[in-house]
Structure 1
Amino acid sequence: MTQNSYQTPEVAQAYDAKNSGRDDFEFYRQLAGEVSAGNPDFAVLDIGCGTGALGVQMAAAGYRVTGVDPSDAMLDVARNRPGGDACTWIHGYANDVPDVVADLAVMTGHVAQYFLTEEAWVEVLTEVYRALRPGGWLAFESRNPGRRAWERWVPEHTTRRLPHPGGGELTTWIELLDVDEDGPEGVLDTHRGITIYPDGHRSGDDSSETLIFRSLDRLNSTLEAAGYSIEQTYGDFSRGPVTEADPDSGTEASVEYILIARRPHP
């Protein structure tokens, strides 16, 4: 396995520029507003918080926020962004989070797809359950494999030119390296992101990442086995329904599986 480039400062510093215009943040902010009603001490846990963009927005809305991420480089951006000092940042994983500290845990940016084995996925669900207060909520998204997003993760569909936070312009694209559609847990996609920086140097050739696309049935069954009740499922961040591809009717698969689950009260 090659190095994950999110561990490098230059990639971390450019992450927000590459991910501008996201529609998931508004979804999770609205969800927090709905499930926090009547709780003046509402606490949010952001698993795989990255550069802390959502965490800072949640803190500005009045919530207590803890973000956890394995990349020191990403957390350096989080700590130093305006409002970053209002959050608690933990370098590590879900098992490094204290017990019963959160009313809502979120995994944004398709973090759920980085847990490639069932063992790793069940472990994070178990650790988040431990970190939630009774009655607490877990929300995350995973791409619908029926949409076959990996087929578009090639330069002709992904090349973009973006402003660099330090000035100048980035050019970035994705190169698909491998797809295994026969994995027992779901489709496995391996790709790398290439970036050319304003000074002309290039990064990404020596790194890659692998994502898993689980079926909705498998996501549901693992949540239930970990003790959660599944409260709602959406197919996009506008709260549209989950759909699967049906050539006969012309129905397309929804882009996402967005799951909202809950740790039950005793």
Structure 2
Amino acid sequence: MRHGEFRHRRLVQVYDAECPWGPDDDFFRAVVNETPGARVLDLGCGTGRLTVALAAGGHTVTGVDPAGASLAAARAKPGGERVTWIEGTSALLPDQAFEVAVLTSHVAQFFVDDAEWARTLADLRRALVPGGRLVFDARDPADRRWEHWNPVDSQRRITLPDGGEVRAWTEVTGVRDGAVSFTHHYHFADDEELLSSATLRFRTEAQLRDSLGAAGFTVDRIHGGWHREPVGQGDGEFLVIAQASRLAPVA
């Protein structure tokens, strides 16, 4: 199943248990809070961990995701009623409706095709007010993180809210032209095994900067780690903070 941890009800529960609040959430919340009381877009919000927290912090938040099962889990979270939830893609975004847009948990890498990434950035530029900020994370390909996505290094046990345990591991199935394909394996206590496959695009810093510029964004800064280290000295990340140009991009 493609993207099963976002689309399959049972795997959504596993994803929530495996991905608690972390330093990435602290980073995004701190950046968003630099614009008090902002209208915030969380594109690819998933199960809404950060989305709900931003709403609790006084922002007016919209969470957008194409996966209905993830949005159902997000709506059910305490405080979920404070968020406007939309099932869909960036194509549905209204014009100039947000001061800040975030893409977290490496959502930016799910746009594998360059044309799809360009369309998404154009939608985000349209949805942000002039001068609005776009904040997202993407793994630095120089870190070669995928080399640890194998059945030995990726073995893990995930405890569910009901006390049940899931064994999980990951295997890479292909690496080509900056795109890495992989499959997550999930083995449940009742012997059901579910698979979730995906492909992520690893863009270089130069490629990210070029794509943002073409879409009408100016890069403010790029960090390499969750504590705002320089690129190459942090957590193997590109943490991008960009600003929507006050002029429309040239067609």
Same-fold status (TM-score > 0.5): yes
Q: Is it true that 1:264 corresponds to 2:231 in the alignment?
A: no
Distance in 2 (CA, whole Å) between partners of 1:115 and 1:14 is 23
Q: Is the 8 A contact 1:191 1:210 kept in 2?
A: yes
1:108 to 104, 120, 131: 104
2:84 to 88, 95, 105: 88
Alignment of 1:57-136 (within 5 A): 57-136=53-132
Q: Residue type of the partner of 1:75?
A: L
Q: Is the 8 A contact 2:226 2:235 kept in 1?
A: no
Q: Is it true that 1:193 corresponds to 2:189 in the alignment?
A: no
Alignment of 1:112-261 (within 5 A): 112-180=108-176, 183=177, 187-204=178-195, 207-243=196-232, 255-261=236-242
Structure 1 partner of 2:32: 32
Query: Which shows bigger deviation, 142-151 or 13-22?
Result: 13-22
Q: Is the 8 A contact 2:179 2:200 kept in 1?
A: yes
Q: Residue type of the partner of 1:13?
A: Q
Q: Is the 8 A contact 1:164 1:198 kept in 2?
A: no
Query: Which shows bigger deviation, 104-113 or 2-11?
Result: 2-11
Structure 2 partner of 1:48: 44
Q: Is the 8 A contact 2:226 2:234 kept in 1?
A: no
1:46 aligns to what SS in structure 2?
Answer: strand
1:254 is displaced (CA, Å) by 5.5
2:212 aligns to what SS in structure 1?
Answer: helix
1:157 aligns to what SS in structure 2?
Answer: coil
Q: Residue type of the partner of 1:258?
A: L
Unaligned runs of 5+ in 1: 244-251
1:156 aligns to what SS in structure 2?
Answer: coil
Structure 1 partner of 2:3: 4
1:237 aligns to what SS in structure 2?
Answer: coil
1:100 is displaced (CA, Å) by 1.4
Task: Report the TM-score when normalising by structure 1.
Answer: 0.89
1:103 is displaced (CA, Å) by 0.8
Q: Is the 8 A contact 1:152 1:158 kept in 2?
A: yes
Following TM superposition, the consecutive aligned residue runs of length 4 or more in structure 1 with deviations greater than 3 angstroms are none
Count of aligned positions: 246
2:229 aligns to what SS in structure 1?
Answer: coil
Q: Residue type of the partner of 1:260?
A: I
Distance in 2 (CA, whole Å) between partners of 1:68 and 1:77 is 13
1:261 is displaced (CA, Å) by 0.3
Q: Residue type of the partner of 1:203?
A: L
Unaligned runs of 5+ in 2: none
